[in-house]
Structures are given as C-alpha cells and as structure tokens.
Copies of this chain bind each other. A is one copy, B any other.
C-alpha cells in the first residue's frame, strides 16, 4: 500500500476515506482534519483559552498535542483519581509528565482528589455505595465537577475532551437502542456554555479510535495502554464488538451513523421534545457555588458531606 500523496509506503489505510497515507502525510492530514472539525462546529478560535482534560491515554494526549501544534492556547488538566489497582493513576500521571517534558511551555493543572477532598475515588465510592457495584458513577460526578470548576475558576473559554468517533458512536448506539431522547438531544460535538457550566467540545469526534492511536504512535506520544481497571465493562465491550462487525461489513458505517446524526441535528431534521423544554431552574450549591437543580448541596458536595 502506498501513500496517495507521495507514493512512499503507507502507514495507514483508511478504507472509509479510500485514503492510504505515509507517516508524514498522515500527520499533516490528521492535524488539518482536526482544525476543520474545530472550525466547522465553531468550537473555539485562536484567541480562546482552552482547557484540555488529559487522562494519560492516547486520545487526550493526542488532542493536546494537536492543539499545541496548531498554536492554540491549550492548557492541560489532570485529575488524579487515586486508583491504585494496576498502578493506574501513577502510570497515567507519569505519561503526562513525559508529555510535558517533550512539550516545553505546556501548562498543566493537577487536581489530586485525595489530597484535596480526603479520599480517593475508590475510597469515596466504597463508602457511599457501601461496597456495592463499581465506582464509575461516583467517578463521573467527581470528574465533571472538577473539570467544570477548573474551567470556570481559571477563566477558560472552553473545556476540550478527547472523545473519538468510536466513543461517540457507542454512546449514540446505546441511546438509540433505547430511544433515550433526553440523552440523544444532548449528544453533539459542542455543548454551549449555560448557567454556570463551561462550554464543552470534542475536537477528535470525527476520527476513528485507530486513527488517533496511529497519530500517537507516529508522533511518539507515550500513553497508558490499559483502560481504567474499573471501566472494563462487558456491556461497552459487547456493543463496541457489535459496531465493529457492522463496520467490517460496511466500512465507514460508524462514521456515517455518527456524522449523519450530527448533521441532521444541526440542520433541524431531527428534533426531540427536550429541545424545546426550558432548562431546569438552577441554584448555586451553598458549598461550592456550582449550579445544581436541587435546592440543597450539589451531588458532588453531598458525596463528601455524608462522610461527616
């Protein structure tokens, strides 16, 4: 297989784009495609201050790398969850430190959950769930709260996450199987800022996972290969397997499924009842000040309150 641009040996063949490229031309293509996504969905501009949520995985580090490459003002945010199994948090942090060494001038915020709030994610989850089930929902609450806090406190214009096409497709597929119109209504490459919540964007949402992995590989970005030890869920693996079968049968199917959806939504061709609903009334949490629907403490603050 040869690069379509220069005829050198190709490092990747993207069947859905009918495009094989060598290392140099793939990087060029990937960076340009990211810029196009940012512009197409009006994610941010050269003047925006961007906070990139980095986990140490290939997606978030590749995103940060591309944004810096393109000259955007992008700072990182690493949330240390304190997950000791498989040395997960320690290894993640080390990968980000290595990234920083290769990107002099890059700026990183680090939030250590245990140091800041007294318990790691597995510890708080164990306490509030009394040992039952996985800590994933607690982890989601904490991460969303902290990402938003740092974005708002730091005066960032936008919070960027590394979700790739495969991530977005799996979520869209599950929400569609159940026709969860509330969730469907909120699935988009951009969620605008609204009463106290930062604007959220997903600049890699048009890349397959393997394209992002190829970018990290070719650019020599070292990242943590393992998924979070708690995230290894039969459900997601099963549905990603189903989607891979469909993609195998009909290359580009995932791309089409996600982008046709996003496009139809943007053009108003698909509407949900939730689109016209008034957003729920928000109150500032009396403790942290972040917006919450209930009158008392927000869900995040209640997590720690129940420790008293």
Interface window among A69-77, A92-100, A256-264: A256-264
A132 at interface by CB-CB < 8 Å = no
Q: Is there an interface contact between A269 and B181, defined as CB atoms closer than 8 Å?
A: yes
CB-CB under 8 A for A246 and B242, given A181-B269, A270-B272, A273-B268: yes
Which residues of chain A from 94 to 115 have any CB-CB distance to chain B below 8 Å in the complex? none
Question: Interface residues of A toward B: which range?
Answer: 20 to 34
Contacts of A178 in B (CB 8 A): 256-257, 260
Q: Is there an interface contact between B270 and A181, defined as CB atoms closer than 8 Å?
A: yes
A32 at interface by CB-CB < 8 Å = no
A95 to B32, CA, bound (A): 63
Which residues of chain A from 229 to 275 have any CB-CB distance to chain B below 8 Å in the complex? 238, 242, 245-246, 249, 253, 256-257, 260-261, 264, 267-274
Copies of this chain assembled into the complex: 2
A176 to B264, CA, bound (A): 12
21 CB-based A-B contacts, threshold 8 Å:
A176-B176, A177-B246, A177-B253, A177-B256, A178-B260, A179-B264, A179-B270, A181-B264, A181-B270, A238-B249, A242-B245, A242-B246, A267-B273, A268-B273, A269-B272, A269-B273, A269-B274, A270-B271, A270-B273, A271-B271, A271-B272
Question: Which 7 A-B residue pairs are closest in the complex by CB-CB distance?
Answer: A179-B260, A269-B273, A271-B271, A181-B269, A179-B264, A179-B261, A177-B257
Binding site for B on A (CB under 8 A): 176-179, 181, 238, 242, 245-246, 249, 253, 256-257, 260-261, 264, 267-274
